[in-house]
């Protein structure tokens, strides 16, 4: 038994194509387990977090020379 993990796109007709050229003409038992890929949400800073912090109030910051 072999396992293949991939991400694929189902077309507008609901058809998913998986090509296995190394098994041309063979009869295979297939077990399909699927999970919908969740779109990642862009993280944003909350206004509450941003309002907690102010600007530097101490002595002026100076950057040391880079070597």
pLDDT tens for 36-50 read 888 777 777 777 777
| Residue whose entry in the numeric block shows the structure tokens 């090509």 | 19
Prediction pTM value: 0.45
pLDDT tens for 1-44 read 888 888 888 999 999 998 888 889 999 999 989 888 887 777 77
pLDDT attached to residue 28? 92
Name the pLDDT band for 59 (thresholds 50, 70, 90). confident
Which run of H or of E encompasses 47?
helix 47-52
Alpha-carbon gap, residue 15 to 6, rounded angstroms = 16
Of residues 52 and 63, more confidence is placed in: 63
């Amino acid at each position: 038994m072999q396992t293949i993990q991939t991400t694929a796109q189902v077309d507008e007709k609901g058809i998913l194509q998986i090509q296995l050229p190394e098994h041309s003409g063979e009869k295979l038992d297939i077990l399909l387990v699927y999970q919908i890929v969740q779109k990642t949400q862009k993280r944003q800073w909350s206004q509450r977090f941003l309002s907690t912090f102010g600007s530097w109030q101490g002595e002026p910051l100076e950057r040391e020379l880079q070597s």
